[in-house]
Amino acid sequence: MRAIMLREPGEPGNLEWTEAADPTAGPGEVVVDVAASAVNRADLLQRQGHYPPPEGASEILGLECSGTIAELGPDIPGWQVGDQVCALLSGGGYAQKVAVPAGQLLPVPPETDLVAAAALPEVACTVWSNVVSHAGLAEGEVLLVHGGAGGVGTHAIQVGKALGATVAVTVGSDQRADRCRQLGADLAINYRERDFVEVLRAETGGADVVLDNMGAKYLAANVDALRTGGRLVVIGMQGGTKAELNLGKLLVKRASIAGTTLRGRPPEEKARIVADVREHLWPMLELGTVRPVIDQVVPMPDAAEAHRALEAGGVFGKVLLTVR
């Protein structure tokens, strides 16, 4: 098969479409003929040498894919060769074929194109496991999402609205704010021009749940933004790794802070998350209340260009890589 291989950590130009060993289906695994993968922030970090794959995972980039099952390992109930699927991966998506634990497979939702389905697994599992399973977002609560125009953000807007929450987002421009509102956000705050804590408090009284990709830079402000009993979930560190925390504010609000990752979880944990997503979120896709949001589709051999586009900013939703 062919795959995107990283010659050495560094610039996007170090990504090369070249020959690689075919994967095989081990116990509990299937091999998928990849139709498309997607570019995630974690891929950029891995390319730069800052985010090595978990032990035993493929060195090839790519944390999700869509495609068709080509091979079944032993003891794989519920799936057949030829099934169209999308999958959550620990690596290996930037390739013509990938081996996937069967517990991390999802059927392509009805009315969703096979290529477009590659935009779903990572964001769906991230949003559901953090916003719903962990933070317990409920109808009538306020959800604040940082990076509302990104892949996770655009998905979180839709899921939050489908659950009956008021959804606020932060974005870097008025144009992106308008697009988030068109997607369903009740409040879109341009953080370059306005203090998101002040605006959020004035408009909603604060957040019950905050989904944060910034980390240290926003820690104090996020605690200020929480309502009593609020839950802050940190899923990224784009704004740094170390910050001071005023525990007094946290205690007075009886609030909580959690930090989570998805990629490094063992397969059985990922399988539980995928099962929850299939049971609870996939019906939203079937109803059309949630849909994949795709900014651009790039041929996989041009993965370097896709990485440059995501790094440059301005992407709304996901960037997909297609195998032809």
The pLDDT > 70 percentage for the chain reads 100
Q: What is the mean pLDDT of the chain?
A: 97
Q: Which residues contact 90 (CB under 8 A, 6 or more apart)?
A: 53, 54, 57, 58, 63, 263
Residue 154, both tokens:
């655009």
Mean per-residue pLDDT for 135-154?
98
b (16+ CB within 10 A) / e for 69-85: bbbbbeebeeeeeebeb
What is the Cβ-side half-sphere exposure of residue 209, based on CA atoms within 13 angstroms? 26
Q: What is the pLDDT of residue 324?
A: 83
Distance (Å, rounded) from C-alpha 42 to C-alpha 3? 18
3-state SS string for 190-242: ECCCCCHHHHHHHHHCCEEEEEECCHHHHHHHHHHHEEEEEEEEECCCCCCCC
Q: List the end-to-end C-alpha distance of the chain, in Å, as a whole number.
A: 12
* 145-169 confidence digits (pLDDT tens): 999 999 999 999 999 999 999 999 9
* pLDDT tens figures, 34-86: 999 999 999 999 999 999 999 999 999 999 999 999 999 998 999 999 999 99
217-229 residues labelled b (16+ CB within 10 A) or e (exposed): ebbebbbbbbbee
- The CA-atom distances, in angstroms, between 248 and each of 112, 207, 223, 258, 319 are 48, 18, 10, 17, 41
Quick check: 100 pLDDT over 90? yes
> Would you state the pLDDT for residue 242?
95
Q: Give yes or no for a contact between 315 and 38, defined as CB atoms under 8 angstroms apart.
A: no
Pairing of strands 207-212, 226-234: parallel
Q: What is the pLDDT of residues 280-301, one digit of tens each?
A: 999 999 999 999 999 999 999 9
Please count the other Cβ atoms lying within 10 Å of the Cβ belonging to residue 250.
16
CB-facing half-sphere around the CA of 175: CA atoms within 13 A = 4
Span 227-252, pLDDT tens digits: 999 999 999 999 999 999 999 999 99
pTM as predicted: 0.97
**264 vs 255: CA distance, rounded Å:** 26
**Which domains does the chain possess?**
2-120+292-322 (3.90.180.10), 124-259 (3.40.50.720)
